[in-house]
Every structure is written in C-alpha cells, then in structure tokens.
A and B are shown apart, each in its own frame.
Chain A
Amino acid sequence: MKQDGKDKVQFPHRHLLGIEGLSPEEISIFLDRSESYVDQNRRADKTSPVLHGRTIINLFFEDSTRTRTSFELAGKRLGGDIINMSVATSSVKKGETLIDTAMTLNAMHPDVLVVRHPHSGAVKLLSEKVNCAVINGGDGSHEHPTQALLDALTIRRRRGHLSGLQVAICGDILHSRVARSNIHLLNTMGARVRLIAPKTLVPPEVERLGVEVFHDMNDGLKDCDIVMMLRLQRERMNGNFLPSVREYFHFFGLDYEKLGHAKEDALIMHPGPMNRGVEIDTDVADDVGRSVIREQVEMGVAVRMAVLELLVLDSSEGDG
C-alpha cells in the first residue's frame, strides 16, 4: 500500500508512545511512508517543506546522541523548526521537573514533542499534560517505538517482508526498551521472535509476550534470518547480573563461530552504540556482507521523518 505524497494516510492516534497495541496496518503506514524519505535522503537536496512553520521540541531527560541527532535531522529535512532541550536529571525530584517542564513547553505551542526519559511510563504521563503530539524517544525499559520501526524498515527493505522470519534478539533483554518494542512489532507483523540471554537478563514471564527464550547462543541462533544484538547496558546494572565482561562475551558475544548457526545470509543488527568485544565481535560488526548496522542508522532518519510528518499533520485538523 505505497502512498504517493498527496494521498493523506492517517495514523489514527495522537501520540506514538509505544508499539504495543498498534495494528499491522498502523505499523505499515509508518514503514510505507518512510520509503519515500529514504529516497529523499539520498538526493543532493534532502529537504521538503512538509513541516514548514511547525515546531518540534526534542526533550531529552537522558543522554542520547544518536536518537536526538536522528530526530533533529529528520525535523530539519522536513523544514520544521526543531530545538533541543536536555534536562538534567541528577536531582531526585525528576518527576516534578517532568510535569513542570511539560506545562512550560506546552505553553509555547509546539506541534510535537519528542521525549526520552529514564523512567518507564514517564512519556505517557507527560503526554497527558500537553496539547500536542508526543513521540516516545525511549522511556526507561519500556518502549522505543521509532527504533523498532527503523529496524523493521531495514529488514523489510532487505528481505521484502517481515512475516515468517525468524528473528533472534540477544543480550540484555531485561533492561531493554528496544527489545520490548521489537518483540511487539515483530510479533504483530508475523515474524517469530526468539530471545537469547543469560537467565539473569531475561525479565519474568517474558514468554507471555509471545517469544521463545533460549539461554544458549548456538541453539537460539539456529536457522535464524535476523540476529539483533543489544547493547549490554552495564551502566544500569546495580546487581550481580553477570560475573564479568569476559565471561559474557565468551557465552553471549556474537562472533563468527556462533553466527555460523544462523542462516548463511542472516542479517546482523545492533541499535548502537556498540560495545565492541562485549556483545559483538568487531569483525562481525563490520562485516559489509551481513551487518546492516549502518543501514539502520540511515533508516532511522527516514522513519523519524515519516513519524513526525504523520503525527504533526494528523494533529492539525484539516491542514495538510
């Protein structure tokens, strides 16, 4: 259902807070719209005035270079006015800052807020306090919907479809919003999802999200089409989840030996930033034949352009 730019395809929700609950059609709206932006981004002139006069605020309560830059570029290429706000989160009263900041920014009439926050559910809470569209740029360990969309776009462009693919998501599932968004998206689109991780990094009852759980890379990777590695979020760990990086890499780091169990043409993905030698071997990460990690970054800008466009234009009644 490819759309040309003039046909308005509506995304029927005001915000994009997560993938959970979206239908395959709703997910496809974003993916389809992204395609034209991939082309646009490869041209010499990468801009289109779709969001001319619109205000986008990147509101980041947590450090991020990639996601913020990606959204910033997306907004600029659509001709929007985009500003970045980083809010220090060192104080214990983070939540007060959250609501107060939301109210303050709301008074400036932005068209869309892109919000990242270290606490699960915080973006949803903020969305209840503002009149504009809100895009979840990652909340705690909950969701990171644009990451899942860009991963899906990357896969779809390489494989032509998502349904029926065997996808392995490997690593720190427990702390990962990327994993949760991808589980929801891939299941919704008919792919089959496996998780591979040591038991300490698997959240309780995750099977009920519709995944198969493995604790051995060789078993879990067997005949997989896609291998998604997750960043080992060591900075978030305050317990004894793992004895050492060395041991983790030995059993769960992606190297050619383990990759040998996946399909020969399996794609390797990583949301970045990578810890080389921790969750992924450098040679594997840089394997031009199989690693699509840089392509993911490219798709990220296109997906975020599509998301910004669909949410901003849908929220301004009758104006397109």
Chain B
Amino acid sequence: MAANNEKSSGTVAYINARLLDPASGLDTTGGLLTEGEIITDVGPGLAKKKDAPKGAKVVDCGGKCLSPGLVDMRIEIGDLASTAEAAVSGGVTSAVCLPNTDPVIDDMTVVEFVARRARKLGLVKVYPYGAVTKGLQGRELAELGLLAEAGAVAFTDGTKAVADAQVMARALSYAATFGLMIVQHPEEPSLTADGVMNAGETATRLGLFGIPPEAEVIMIERDVRLAEMTGGRLHIAHVSTAESIDAIRRAKGRGINVTCDTAPPYFALNEAAIGDYRTFAKLSPPLRAEDDRQAVVQGLADGTIDAIASDHTPRDEESKRLPFEQAAPGGMGLSTLLAVALELHHNGHMGLLDVLKLITSAPAGLMGLDAGALIAGRPADLVLFDPEQGWKVDADALGGKAKNSPFDGRPVQGRVLLCVVDGRTVFEPGE
C-alpha cells in the first residue's frame, strides 16, 4: 500500500480522463491538475500530455472515469487499519464512522482520538459521528455542542434507535440550537423483539422471528412529527421499506427538514438472499421483500432518498458462524460500494452522474464535509474507475479479518483503478 502520512508536494496532471463531477454537473473529456493536497485546475483544456505544465508528474487516465473520491456517510470502524484499506480499495476517500466504538464516541477525547488515529494511517479521511445519548443508552443527552466543536459531524446512536420519544424530541430540539443534525436508526425496538429478519413468508418458513416493516415506518412517522414540532434537523439512516420512503416523500412535500439515505443491500438484494440461513445476509435493518427493494430503487431515482452509505460493518468469523438467530447483524460494504451503486446506472435506473452524486457530493453536503467535488481549491481526493470492467465479489479477497460481504459471489461491474487522498496515491490495484 502506497499510504503514508507525508504531505504530497509538487504538481500532478491527471490527463486523458472522463471527468465526472456531480457537484458541478461536469461530464467531459479532459484532465485535472493537483498541487500538493489541492485541486488547482479541472477541465477539457488538460486532456493531453502536452497540456500538462512543465515539471508536472503526468498520470494518463486512459480515458477512464475520474471523479471525486467517494464519501461514505456511515461505516462501523471495526479494525481501523483493515477498514481504511477496504475504503481506499473501494475508492472511498472520506467516511463517517458510527459512535458505537469501544469506548463510545460520547466524549470529546474519543472524537479526537478516532480522527487522529485515522490521520496517522493517511488513507481514508475518517470523521466521527457523536452519540446522541450518553453511552448510547437512549436516556441522557451527550454533550452535543462540545462534541461538535471537537469534530463530530452529526449525531446518532448508531445501530440503536433513540427509542424514547421525549429523549428524541429534546435531542432534535437541543441539536437545533447549534444547527446540528440527528441521524436516526429507524426501528421501533419494542416491535422487533426477537426478530432477526424481515417478517413474512421466508421468516415463517425458516422458523425465524420477523421484524415487521411497520417497525421502520412507525419510527419514521413519529420522528418526522418530532422534527416538525421542534424544528430540528432529522436524517433517517438506511431506509429499507416502501412505506418508509412514502412517509419521507410526504414529509418532504410538507416542507419538513428531513433527509434520508439507504445502503446498497436495500436496493440490490432482498430477503431471498438469506436462503438457507446465510448469516452474511443478516443485516440491520433486515433485507426486505422484493417490492420494498424496488421502492428503494424508485426512491433513489426520484430523489426521495438523498444519499447512499455503505453501512460497512465488519464482523469476525466467530460472530457470523453461528445459528442465524445468534449471528451478529451487519455486512461489509466499503469495497463494493461503487460497483453495487453502479448497478443503478447499468440497469438503466439512473444516469452515471446521478449515481455518483449519491456517493460523493450528496453525502458530503449532508455531513458538511469539504469533499466530493472536482473543483479548483478543493482537496485532491479522487477516484479513477472503469465503470464497465466486470469482477466477482470474493469475500476472501476483500482483505482484513472480516469477510462478511452480503455480496459475496456476486458479479459486478465497476472497478477502482486509482484512489488519491490529499494528492497522494493511496490505492492502485495489484499493488
């Protein structure tokens, strides 16, 4: 791995590229110039080698797609080193990590610690979420203001919903004092007790207890009301059901300040992926019915869903090689984020720029990150990829100890050829 934390210096010209910048709507043949950590020029005038300034290092992009590095607004960090490598191998240059670390990110020192460790690795830029409540216990508010000052970009209790309505109302209200966003895991916990997969025919056949899709929409509808009541800024994480998307569509129509995201499993897979108790397909929220999957695709295409996050959740073999009910939920997603998102393009649901927007500028905007744009003056975080090149997801080859990809064995299209963070090459395949 070419990672290091030395500052890059000098000028690099990325020539002969298809420039794709969802932030500015740019889709043209051209090139890009970086000076140290910053993009200094972008455009069709830099298409050829002769256009590069004297003394610049020239990188020939071979006509492939050069876009802003991907921005992943929700990962679990697990083992930082392998997560960071998975990120850059997937073209992800900025990621926001959930606070359900050990210790929990509910204290300023932990915020600083996470960011500092990630900076030392010099791979993906890691930004932390702060906890909404102390210890993620759902009772007392964490120090939202101080955490934000320390660098927390938004607030969530991670994979646990803030269940108590009063606590959620106060969180939204208090966060609004500082203009901060609350991100909710949409699941009414009292309806999901014992549930391990989507409620329905498959769960009934397998003898597993179901999580009804209503558990998701009930929480969303409640929180939309609370956001309206408090004037707070609400974001719903990983929506997975048709009814949820309808509820958010209606709320947006009424002018309520709510946004949402989804994750690749929810538009690329359905509950059938569980098959005969496949624990890699045990996720939270659970994989849903085919109708729901289609509604998620529709929600992405019509703009109801604002962003795609990988929901990267590394789990060791011991926590997945268990009876389904006991296995830990969660799937890896960083390395497959681009390829699986591109299915939306390959299947004709969305344009290439529109798909890229969902994994670059849109999440960067939601999280307030200086990332996700090919614009002079912005950080030189780039990904070069071939949207057509096919490969097969192989969980064993994803690196690190965790292998729990719900996409294991899936043929996908879209290969990362180069990943650049702050002007430094941090990933090239075959290294």
Contacts and interface: CB of A to CB of B under 8 A. Distances in A.
Contacts of A122: 323
Interface in A222-257: 238-239
A141 B208 CA distance: 7
B199 A121 contact: no
A311 to B, nearest CB: 19
Contacts of B205: 20, 180, 209
B193 A120 contact: no
Nearest to B327: A95
A95 B326 contact: yes
A62 B323 CA distance: 14
B201 A121 contact: no
Contacts, number: 79
Interface string A33-57: 0000000000000000000000000
Nearest to B198: A204
A117 interface: yes
Nearest to A61: B323
Interface string B306-325: 00000000000010011111
A204 B193 contact: no
Contacts of B80: none
Contacts of B323: 94-95, 98, 117, 119-122, 125, 140
A205 interface: yes
Nearest to A96: B318
B203 interface: yes
Contacts of A194: none
Interface in A93-130: 94-96, 98-99, 117, 119-122, 124-125
Contact of A120 (B200, B321, B324): B324
B211 to A, nearest CB: 11
Contact of A121 (B209, B210, B277): B277
Contacts of A314: none
Given A124-B277, A142-B206, A119 B201 contact: no
Instruction: Pick from B199, B205, B210, B276 the residue with the most CB of A within 10 Å.
Output: B205
A141 B325 CA distance: 11
A200 B210 CA distance: 13
A208 interface: yes
B145 interface: no
| B206, B207, B210, B325 — most chain A CB neighbours (10 Å) | B207
B78 interface: no
A177 B321 contact: no
Nearest to A125: B323
Contacts of B208: 120-121, 140-142
B200 A204 contact: yes
B327 A120 contact: no
Interface string B340-360: 000000000000000000000
A96 B323 CA distance: 10
A98 B322 contact: yes
Interface in B231-265: none
A102 B164 CA distance: 43
A203 interface: yes
Given A95-B323, A238-B194, A125 B207 contact: no
A120 B327 CA distance: 12
B324 A208 contact: no
B204 interface: yes
Pick from A124, A205, A206, A209 the residue with the most CB of B within 10 Å: A205
Contacts of B209: 141
A72 interface: no
Contacts of B321: 95, 99, 125
Interface in B107-124: none
B203 A203 contact: yes
B289 to A, nearest CB: 10
A142 B324 CA distance: 12
B189 interface: no
B148 to A, nearest CB: 37
A120 B204 contact: no
Nearest to B277: A121
Contacts of A208: 201, 204
A238 B193 CA distance: 9
A254 B239 CA distance: 45
B212 interface: yes
Contact of B200 (A139, A143, A205): A205
B207 A142 contact: yes
A235 to B, nearest CB: 14
A204 B324 contact: no
Contacts of B204: 203-206, 208-209
Interface in A273-305: none
A20 B323 CA distance: 19
A212 to B, nearest CB: 15
Nearest to A139: B207
B206 A119 contact: no
Contacts of B201: 204-206, 208-209
Nearest to A239: B193
A95 B322 contact: yes
B420 to A, nearest CB: 42
B403 to A, nearest CB: 16
A121 B324 contact: yes
A209 B201 CA distance: 8
B279 to A, nearest CB: 9
A88 to B, nearest CB: 16
Contacts of A204: 199-201, 203-204, 210, 212
A237 to B, nearest CB: 11
Contacts of A96: 318, 322
Contacts of A99: 321-322
A120 B326 contact: no
Counting chain A CB atoms within 10 Å of each CB, the highest count among B209, B212, B322, B327 belongs to B322
Contacts of B206: 120-121, 142
Q: Give the residue among A94, A119, A121, A205 with the most B Cβ atoms within 10 A.
A: A121
Contacts of A141: 207-209
B159 to A, nearest CB: 19
A140 B325 contact: yes
A8 B321 CA distance: 37
B75 to A, nearest CB: 26
B190 to A, nearest CB: 10
Contacts of B194: 238
A139 B276 CA distance: 13
Given A117-B323, A238-B193, 15 more contacts: A95-B327, A96-B318, A120-B207, A124-B277, A125-B277, A125-B321, A139-B207, A141-B208, A141-B209, A177-B207, A180-B205, A203-B204, A204-B200, A204-B210, A204-B212
18 contacts: A95-B321, A120-B323, A121-B207, A121-B325, A124-B276, A124-B277, A125-B277, A125-B323, A139-B207, A141-B209, A204-B201, A204-B203, A204-B212, A205-B201, A205-B204, A206-B204, A208-B201, A208-B204
